[in-house]
Amino acid sequence: MEKIVESFELYGKEYRLETGELAKQATGAVLVTQGETSVLVTAVVSKQQRDYDFFPLTVDFIEKMYAVGRIPGGYLKREARPSEKGTLTARMIDRPIRPGFPDGFKNEVHVVATTFVADQVNPPDTICVAGASAALLAGGAPFDGPAACVRIGRDKETGEFIVNPTYAEQENSDLELTIAGTADYISMVEAGAHEISEEDMLAAMTFGQEAIAAFCEKQAAFLAKVNPTPLPYVVHVPDPCIAERVGAYYDAMAAALKDADKQARMGKVDDLKAQIKEESFSEEERGAWASDINAACKALEKRAMRAMIIETGERADGRTPEEIRPLHIVPGYLPRVHGSGLFQRGQTQVMSVCTLGMLNEWQRLDTIEPVDGKRYMHQYNFPPYCTGETGRMGAPKRREVGHGALAERALLPVIPDEDSFPYAIRVVSEVLESNGSSSMASTCGSTLALMDAGVPISAPVSGVAMGLIKEGDDVVILTDIQGIEDFLGDMDFKVCGTSKGITALQMDNKAKGLSVEILARALKQAHEGRAFILDAMLEQIPAPREEMRETAPRIETIKIPVDKIRDVIGSGGKVVRGIQEETGASIDIQEDGTIHVGATSGTAMQAAKDIILGIVKEPEVGEIYEGEVVGIKDFGAFIKLTPGKDGLLHISRVANGRVAKVEDVLNLGDIVKVEVLEVDPKNGKISLDRLDKPDAPAGSSEPRGERREHRERRDDRRGGDNRPGRSGREARTPRRRHEAN
């Protein structure tokens, strides 16, 4: 196959799609480029069908450090487990392309996006969706495309939308909306925002849909050049008698679903499914049609649940579509930790815990993104026991990383900046029970934990998950969906925000034909749900606590001249380590001379500050110090005024009266009270006077006449000239330079 290239410009940026030269053994391979950022996206579709009751799609996003000209950190010096950003990007590719495959397609599909170049100007993530779509279609896979993904920013000053903003453009944006789908429908939305209104969010989504259509048109032009041949993949069609036999149990399934308790309802449904298999199928049929029977039972459960809501307006747990489950909210649930909050909504329960630390405890990131790290970290854990199951616990899975990132995105806009609150902040959400939208419970619980810790967030944040049941023209929007409504419904739409506006949003859509009007209704209903939950939270803790826990560190900030930083650090860090060991405080020194001092004890805090300020303090004329004698010379003693500055106390000022030797009055280690007499403006040398002068000790000085007689006797013994400069020398007769011969 010859190399095929499609270059185009959209919304002020250059793009390129290429195929036919790289990775030719893959089913499809496309090199997609924005600016100089290039990602190779490959798709492989297995030739064999698998006996699964789900679609076996795997997506990997591979961050290569050579793409940014760096060698990976660590001992192995090679890329290992994906970063959090890499995991989120893989999820972002998976979610919009998964709905594009037909029901019953059971061939394994593996999509791999490998970063070749990351130019540090254009992010590599959004273009991967177009690359995956083009690779699948170029390979002839049965994919309903083209599909594309765009990021929408909004200029803070002009209010104009920006398509696929650069990193620099995103810095000046109050919105980060990532939206994916086809020219006809939206399948995935992720958003972070600075409290923007529902109307503005809806406008951005509408604009994003138009941009997606433009990119799909360019992709179609590329595929027309490729002219792929559809491969003969078989879509599995189960025997029609399976659905017919299972469908006979519709009334029984509808009855089993009507139970508010998740475990009890699941038990009834599982028992019914086992009964269906036992009564309606022979042992031989159960062996041959195992996955088809499971899929038919699941389809029956889905049909019964959806019909119940569409026809009666009643949900499985008896709620109306707009009703929120009972709330249980407890801020400050745990002792000693810096902040905690228990949030429970129905059978979803989350404990969030906040920990405060020094700024040097921020999370450092080793990725291809031009971001060094972050000081606010949110982590989410979903152990097996939260759903009453057994399982293996280990590294966080993609779902856990994604849910933690959503809660982090929701709260980040209200976190105070480090100038006003110089702390690193870590929040961990432990899911203790789960039956729908544990990520939104994490957002609410984390707001409680931050407020309990005394973090001065600009506004409290609440979140709610919305669902959708769509059958033809019949549409029902559900507030606060539970697990069954998520699994068997058409949409999972999570919305977070303050009373002023939206801070984060995430949507996965399984229903084609999701209109802007439906999204508008969902956003309005979500706003009402968020407000209800937020009011309940504020009844328990109306504002961040004014005082932090005694166990939390107190951090104060001081500023020193940049040229004094080396004095505070000392050779090899000796000085700063000594201060920390002596006081027990933690010290973080910035390149601009900002120093953050943290300690749980006010005494330790003040002691560390005093030492640092003493090091950088420049003594001034008239100031009085009590300093240690750190050096003695014939002409005087050096007194330590500050940890980095000594002054000279001349021998004439160590005592009242004349002193022959400094040691007659002072010894090393003595503490003396001195006043600064003079500071030389050229070299900074300091002259001191002693304020508590003692009288010179007897014998320390001889009278003037005795000293003269002593000198004369000494010179007589030497027999020399007593004149100055002639002591100890013999008399000489001058020689003439020119004597007569």
Look at 438 and 644; give whichever has higher pLDDT: 438
Mean pLDDT of 511-527: 84
DSSP helix, strand, coil percent of the chain (3-state; round to 5): 35, 30, 35
pLDDT at 385: 93
> At 358, is the secondary structure helix, strand, or coil?
coil
Neighbours of 350 (CB within 10 A): 30
Judged against a pLDDT cut of 60, whether residue 547 lies above it is answered with yes
Judged against a pLDDT cut of 60, whether residue 187 lies above it is answered with yes
Tell me the residue ranges of DSSP E strands in 243-402.
327-331, 339-345, 348-357, 363-364, 373-374, 376-381
Helix axes 516-540, 198-226, angle to 10 degrees: 140
pLDDT at 231: 83
CA 288, CA 285: separation in Å to the nearest integer?
Answer: 5
Q: Is 492 annotated as belonging to a binding site?
A: yes
Q: Are 92 and 402 in contact (CB under 8 A)?
A: no
pLDDT at 513: 64
pLDDT at 227: 93
pLDDT at 483: 87
pLDDT tens profile 261-316 = 888 988 999 999 999 999 999 999 988 898 889 989 999 999 999 989 998 888 88
CA angle 617, 619, 622 (to 5 degrees): 140
Q: What is the C-alpha R_g of the chain?
A: 39
pLDDT at 733: 46
Judged against a pLDDT cut of 50, whether residue 732 lies above it is answered with no
Give which of 320, 355, 373, 561 is closest to 455, Cα–Cα: 355
Query: What distance separates the 2 farthest-apart alpha carbons in the chain?
Result: 152
CA 617, CA 611: separation in Å to the nearest integer?
Answer: 10
pLDDT tens profile 339-397 = 999 999 999 999 999 999 998 888 888 788 888 889 999 999 999 999 999 988 888 88
Mean pLDDT of 240-268: 90
Give 734's contacts (C-beta < 8 A, 6+ positions apart): none
Judged against a pLDDT cut of 70, whether residue 608 lies above it is answered with yes
Give which of 185, 186, 163, 184 is closest to 175, Cα–Cα: 163
Judged against a pLDDT cut of 90, whether residue 197 lies above it is answered with yes
pLDDT at 356: 95
pLDDT at 72: 85
State the chain's mean pLDDT as an integer: 89
Predicted confidence band at 130 (pLDDT cuts at 50, 70, 90)?
very high
CA 688, CA 636: separation in Å to the nearest integer?
Answer: 10
Give 598's contacts (C-beta < 8 A, 6+ positions apart): 357, 358, 553, 554, 555, 556, 585, 586, 587, 588, 605
pLDDT at 57: 95
Torsion on CA atoms 432, 434, 437, 443, rounded to nearest 10: 0
pLDDT at 571: 85
pLDDT at 371: 82
Strands 686-690 and 645-650: parallel
The helix or strand, by DSSP H or E, that contains position 708, with its residue range, turns out to be helix 704-718
pLDDT at 489: 85
| Termini Cα distance of the chain | 117
Look at 643 and 663; give whichever has higher pLDDT: 663
CA 529, CA 540: separation in Å to the nearest integer?
Answer: 18
**Percent of the residues in the chain that have a pLDDT greater than 90, as a whole number:** 61
Predicted confidence band at 79 (pLDDT cuts at 50, 70, 90)?
confident
Judged against a pLDDT cut of 70, whether residue 724 lies above it is answered with no
Predicted confidence band at 702 (pLDDT cuts at 50, 70, 90)?
low
Neighbours of 85 (CB within 10 A): 19
Mean pLDDT of 314-323: 90
Judged against a pLDDT cut of 70, whether residue 190 lies above it is answered with yes
Judged against a pLDDT cut of 70, whether residue 726 lies above it is answered with no
Q: Are 63 and 161 in contact (CB under 8 A)?
A: no
Judged against a pLDDT cut of 70, whether residue 718 lies above it is answered with no
Judged against a pLDDT cut of 80, whether residue 74 lies above it is answered with no
Max avg pLDDT among 87-91, 655-659, 730-734: 87-91
Mean pLDDT of 586-603: 89
Q: Are 315 and 262 in contact (CB under 8 A)?
A: no
Q: Report if pTM > 0.85.
A: no
pLDDT at 22: 96
Q: Are 118 and 62 in contact (CB under 8 A)?
A: no
**Percent of the residues in the chain that have a pLDDT greater than 70, as a whole number:** 94
Look at 75 and 720; give whichever has higher pLDDT: 75
Tell me the residue ranges of DSSP E strands in 358-433.
363-364, 373-374, 376-381, 424-433
Give 295's contacts (C-beta < 8 A, 6+ positions apart): 53, 238
Judged against a pLDDT cut of 80, whether residue 734 lies above it is answered with no
Beta bridge partners of 44: 110
In our burial notation (b when 16+ CB lie closer than 10 A, e otherwise), range 511-523 reads bbebeeebbbebb
CA 70, CA 61: separation in Å to the nearest integer?
Answer: 18
Give which of 483, 448, 478, 442 is closest to 463, Cα–Cα: 442
Structural domains for the chain:
4-226 (3.30.230.70), 240-312 (1.10.10), 327-540 (3.30.230.70), 554-616 (3.30.1370.10), 624-690 (2.40.50.140)
- Per-residue DSSP letter, 293: H
Residues in the chain: 741
Dihedrals φ, ψ of 412, to 5°? -55, -40
The helix or strand, by DSSP H or E, that contains position 112, with its residue range, turns out to be strand 107-117
Mean pLDDT of 576-595: 90
Predicted confidence band at 530 (pLDDT cuts at 50, 70, 90)?
very high
pLDDT at 48: 87
Look at 711 and 529; give whichever has higher pLDDT: 529
139: which 2 tokens? 């390979």
pLDDT at 370: 86
